[in-house]
Amino acid sequence: MTPSSLPVIRLKPKANARAIRHGAPWVFDNELVTDRRTKAIAPGSIAVLEDAGREPLALVAVNPKSRIMGRVLDLDTSAEIGEAWLRERLARALALREKLYDAPYYRLIHAEGDGLPGVVIDRFGDVAVIQPNAAWAEALLPELVAALREVTGVTTMLKNAGGRARGLEGLDDESAVLEGAAPVGPVEVPMNGAVYMADLTGGQKTGLFYDQRPNHAFAARMAKGARVLDVFAHVGGFSLAALAAGAESALAVDGSEPALELARAGAEKMGAAGRFETRKADAFEALTALAEEGARFDMVICDPPAFAPSKQALEAGLRAYERVARLAAPLVAEGGILGLCSCSHAADLAKFRSACLRGIGRAGRAGPLIHTGFAGPDHPQHPNLAETAYLKALFFRL
């Protein structure tokens, strides 16, 4: 579809057109003139966004069913959004990852951070898992698959339709095999010297959390000869990296037995099964029980799910982070390391750090903050979108 044939949507007079010109990626419904014609635009359509004076600002993906009614795709209003445009964005993203990583295991597309709003693509060798979390990406999925095949050469593409974002866009939750055949069993993923087992069809999100890679690496540097406790361990992110770096032992705690099975399989592949234990339990109950047992560890890492996924959940989320810190701190041996993580974008770094410090203090412990970590460079931050800078990891020496 050529730009001249596209529908037009318009900002209200008091809306901030300058923010769009300076890179703001989202246009909310209350910033737009939402007349009958605008509301009738099919979700996922591409439109020209104009300012109140009818000056073209950008090409946007429109979804009248979403609060984020417009997602900026290109400030060049003469661009044609199609397979060639997608190839260019994918190629740019691939070039960065190929400079960063020796093997094709990484997040290839991090939504707005890579100029493809609402799209997440994780790569596992010859397999790509796509999360089209915005209506425009769902509408252009055949073109995205074709472009991805041409740019990367991947032979299998899976669609993951889980998660909250698709529901907010009015999209279905039906995952699918888009091309090739789904892997039979878990896929081996080499990272930080460890081997992880990723379930690409039945696991959480796309099967593995690449974002913690640099934080796993930092923890592993401190883990040689250490007794390690990995809470909310999923498939053993921190514990397997620690074992690969020479940890004396590691205990992984998670509420999901399938995730722990994958963690055990990873330890087995690494030849570290003899130094690895798992415990299926609620994390808060496990932390309490370990304290009652008198357990002590040289390193305790807690990497919970998003306790504050929205502004409405912020206060309850911060209390949960404080509680994690309060229960985990007593388990750290004198001079040991406590790592606390948050993937809640609503809890910014300052609020998360304050919650952690309150919990540590209430546990009667203290010590310097020795490292602050974020997501890896395959999760580029959009400078105008705080949501892309969601991950924080704090390491204290108690």
Q: Are residues 164 and 195 in the same domain?
A: no
Q: What per-residue confidence (pLDDT) applies to 363?
A: 98
User: Which pLDDT tens digit goes with each residue over 9-31?
Assistant: 999 998 999 999 999 999 999 99
> How much is the pLDDT for 3?
55
374 burial via Cβ count (<10 Å: 0-12, 13-18, 19+)? middle
Distance CA 66, CA 280 (A): 38
For residues 30 and 261, give the distance between their C-alpha atoms in angstroms, rounded to a whole number.
Answer: 47
pTM of the model: 0.94
Q: Do 54 and 113 fall into the same domain?
A: no
* CATH number (domain holding residue 205): 3.40.50.150
Instruction: Residue 174: count other Cβ atoms within 10 Å of its Cβ.
Output: 9
Question: How many domains, the chain?
Answer: 3
Cα dist. 205→25, 122, 143, 266 in Å?
24, 10, 23, 19
46: domain CATH number is 2.30.130.10
| 244 and 103 housed in the same domain | no
87 and 51 inside one domain: no
Boundary of a domain, candidates 47, 74, 101: 74
Asked whether the beta carbons of 72 and 135 are under 8 A apart, the reply is no
> Which of 18, 53, 74 is a domain's end point?
74
Q: Which residues belong to the active site?
A: 343
Give the pLDDT confidence score for residue 389 in this predicted structure: 86
Tokens 């896929």 sit on residue: 187
CA distance 223 to 275: 13
pLDDT for res 141: 97
Indicate if 70 and 117 belong to the same structural domain.
no
Q: Both 191 and 143 in a single domain? A: no
Q: What angle do CA 237, 238, 239 make, to 5 degrees?
A: 100
**What pLDDT was estimated at residue 164?**
82
Whether 46 and 99 share a structural domain: no
In which domain, by residue range, is 349 found?
A: 187-397
Of the residues 74, 103, 127, which one is the last residue of a structural domain?
A: 74
What is the separation of C-alpha 72 from the centre of its chain, rounded to a whole number of angstroms?
21
Domain co-membership, 174 together with 262 = no
* C-alpha distance from residue 5 to each of 42, 47, 76 (Å): 15, 9, 15
Same domain for 256 and 321, yes or no, is yes
- Would you mind telling me the total number of residues written for the chain in this entry? 398
3-state SS track over 102-120: CCCEEEEEEHHHHCCCCEE
Do residues 256 and 393 share a domain? yes
In this structure, the strands spanning 56-62 and 45-50 are antiparallel
SS3 371: strand
Strand order in the sheet with 8-10: 8-10, 45-50, 56-62, 68-74, 26-28
Report the DSSP pairing between strands 26-28 and 45-50.
unpaired
- Give residues with Cβ within 8 angstroms of 64, minimum separation 6: 29, 34, 38, 39, 40, 41, 43
- What CATH number has the domain bearing residue 156? 3.30.750.80
Q: Do 56 and 125 fall within a single domain? A: no
Q: Are residues 237 and 372 in the same domain?
A: yes
Q: For each of the chain's 398 residues, which pLDDT tens digit applies?
A: 455 689 999 999 989 999 999 999 999 999 999 999 999 999 999 999 999 999 999 999 999 999 999 999 999 999 999 999 999 999 999 999 999 999 999 999 999 999 999 999 999 999 999 999 999 999 999 999 999 999 999 999 999 998 788 988 999 999 999 999 999 999 999 999 999 999 999 877 778 899 999 999 999 999 999 999 999 999 999 999 999 999 999 999 999 999 999 999 999 999 999 999 999 999 999 999 999 999 999 999 999 999 998 889 999 999 999 999 999 999 999 999 999 999 998 999 999 999 999 999 999 999 999 999 999 999 999 999 888 889 999 999 99
Beta-bridge partner residues of 50: 10, 56
* Whole-number pLDDT of residue 206: 74
pLDDT digits (tens, 9 = 90+) for 263-315: 999 999 999 999 999 999 999 999 999 999 999 999 999 999 999 988 899 99
Calculate the CA dihedral of residues 154, 92, 105, 280 and round it to 10 degrees. Answer: -110
CB neighbour list of residue 185: distance below 8 Å, 6 or more residues apart: none
Q: Cα separation of 153 and 50, whole Å?
A: 38
Q: How far is CA 119 from CA 122, 160, 398, in A?
A: 10, 11, 40
